[in-house]
């Protein structure tokens, strides 16, 4: 069994209550941001497409313990409006001759046909294929929707070498997936999906979650390093380390409100990025800090947060370890070290 039924039931009860306030309709959200392309620093055009949202979050298993994205998805998607806005905004965002990445997010799975019907998936990809400036396209999906058939359909719609399927693996440790995140799949499912992606010539991006509930920060550092090693052996060349930020209406948000959870330290992220990049210099390592410097996101003491977040941003764009290798000095570094030890003892 890939879930713990008691844990899943508790998550579902929290979810059901929070879902009552979900809005009925929502517009396409879109922005342009700095991004590390395979070819070097550049821009990404990001779309959040208003689908019904993640099927796993809406299932009787309640979804992941840490995720509240579903509350931003509408109950009744309107694909006609969505396509019209998508085409207009994409056209307006492209800059002639400037290569960019296109990130197509749904706060769920782009490849789930109950979220986006196959015809709409194809129409979106055909539209994107008209722009030579778009050199990379990121589509997020859970592994179960990465079928041979769907990968073949994508291959028929667009140059498959541009496609990167981003999967929220979170951890390569099945115990953590089951008991801490309620992910509903295991490492072997990720492995099989990755094989289907590689088979058609597309690329895989993996998200790893830093510090899920019930795991001490120290153990999560170890887990991320072990997961990166397994991903590297599999041939995954882009990994994004996502430090927890607290989403409302989640199991984790309740722990946080009861002071049973501290969001990760920026020192830990800095340590992780240094370790990983020095061991795997060719890996494209992403580490975007959401809500960084606040209590609900990765943070230090408040005095040194900005300089570390800025250094991490610069490092992600340059992929040059020198950007994070300088000696950052702050008195809270000692506090971080004793926290790692103390929290590990408490959780054990």
Which residues form the interface with ligand SF4 (CB under 6 A)? 54, 56-57, 63-64, 67, 69, 107-108, 142, 168
The residue among 128 and 270 lying less far from Zn ion, judged by its C-beta, is 270
Q: Burial code of 210-239, b = ≥16 C-beta within 10 A, e = fewer?
A: bbbbbbbbbbbbebbeebbebbbebebbbb
In the numeric block, the tokens 């900005």 are attached to 306
Q: For the chain, what is the largest distance between any 2 Cα atoms, rounded to a whole number of angstroms?
A: 56
What 8-state DSSP symbol labels residue 178?
I
The residue among 39 and 331 lying less far from Zn ion, judged by its C-beta, is 331
45 binds, among ligand SF4, Zn ion, none (CB under 5 to 8 A by kind): none
101 binds, among ligand SF4, Zn ion, none (CB under 5 to 8 A by kind): none
63 binds, among ligand SF4, Zn ion, none (CB under 5 to 8 A by kind): ligand SF4
Considering the complex, what minimum distance in angstroms separates the CB of residue 168 from ligand SF4? 5
Considering the complex, what minimum distance in angstroms separates the CB of residue 107 from ligand SF4? 6
Residue 258 has which token pair? Answer: 């009861």
Question: In whole angstroms, what is the distance from residue 295 CA to residue 254 CA?
Answer: 14
Considering the complex, what minimum distance in angstroms separates the CB of residue 67 from ligand SF4? 3
Considering the complex, what minimum distance in angstroms separates the CB of residue 33 from Zn ion? 27
Residues in the chain: 348
57 binds, among ligand SF4, Zn ion, none (CB under 5 to 8 A by kind): ligand SF4
Question: In whole angstroms, what is the distance from residue 177 CA to residue 172 CA?
Answer: 8
304 binds, among ligand SF4, Zn ion, none (CB under 5 to 8 A by kind): Zn ion
Residue 29 has which token pair? Answer: 């959200």
- Interface residues toward Zn ion, by CB under 5 A: 300-301, 303-304, 330, 332
Phi, psi (5° rounding) for residue 46?
-110, 135
Question: In whole angstroms, what is the distance from residue 270 CA to residue 312 CA?
Answer: 7
The residue among 111 and 332 lying less far from Zn ion, judged by its C-beta, is 332
Considering the complex, what minimum distance in angstroms separates the CB of residue 325 from ligand SF4? 32
Considering the complex, what minimum distance in angstroms separates the CB of residue 209 from ligand SF4? 8
The residue among 221 and 332 lying less far from Zn ion, judged by its C-beta, is 332
The residue among 107 and 268 lying less far from ligand SF4, judged by its C-beta, is 107
CA distances from 129 to 126, 160, 313 (A): 5, 10, 29
169 binds, among ligand SF4, Zn ion, none (CB under 5 to 8 A by kind): none
139 binds, among ligand SF4, Zn ion, none (CB under 5 to 8 A by kind): none
What 8-state DSSP symbol labels residue 246?
P
Helix (H) or strand (E) holding 37: strand 29-37
């Amino acid at each position: 069994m890939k879930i713990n039924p008691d844990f899943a039931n508790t998550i579902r009860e929290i979810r059901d209550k929070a879902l009552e306030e979900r809005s009925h309709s929502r517009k396409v959200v879109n922005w342009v941001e700095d991004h590390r392309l395979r070819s070097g620093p550049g821009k990404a055009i990001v779309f959040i497409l208003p689908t019904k949202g993640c099927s796993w979050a809406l299932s009787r298993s309640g979804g992941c313990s840490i995720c509240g994205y579903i509350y931003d998805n509408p109950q009744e998607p309107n694909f006609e409006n969505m396509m019209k806005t998508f085409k207009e905004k994409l056209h307006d965002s492209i800059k002639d001759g400037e290569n960019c990445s296109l990130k197509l997010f749904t706060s769920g799975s782009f490849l789930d046909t109950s979220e986006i019907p196959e015809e709409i998936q194809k129409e979106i990809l055909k539209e994107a294929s008209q722009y030579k400036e778009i050199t990379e396209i990121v589509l997020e999906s859970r592994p179960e929707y990465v079928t041979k058939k769907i990968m073949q359909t994508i291959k028929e719609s667009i140059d498959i070498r541009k496609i990167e399927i981003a999967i929220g693996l979170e951890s390569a440790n099945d115990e953590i997936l089951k008991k801490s995140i309620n992910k509903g799949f295991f490492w072997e499912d990720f492995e099989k999906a990755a094989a289907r992606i590689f088979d058609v010539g597309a690329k895989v991006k993996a998200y790893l979650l830093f510090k899920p509930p019930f795991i001490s920060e120290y153990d999560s550092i170890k887990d991320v390093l072990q997961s990166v090693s397994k991903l590297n052996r599999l041939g995954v060349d882009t990994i994004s380390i996502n430090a927890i930020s607290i989403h409302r209406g989640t199991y984790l948000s309740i722990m946080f409100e009861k002071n049973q959870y501290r969001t990760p330290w920026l020192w830990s992220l800095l340590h992780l990025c240094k370790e990983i990049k020095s061991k795997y210099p060719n890996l494209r390592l992403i580490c975007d800090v959401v809500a960084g410097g606040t209590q609900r996101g990765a943070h230090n003491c408040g005095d040194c947060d900005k300089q570390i977040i800025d250094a991490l941003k610069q490092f992600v764009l340059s992929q040059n370890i020198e950007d994070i290798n300088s000696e950052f000095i702050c008195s809270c570094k000692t506090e971080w070290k004793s926290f790692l030890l103390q929290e590990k003892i408490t959780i054990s």
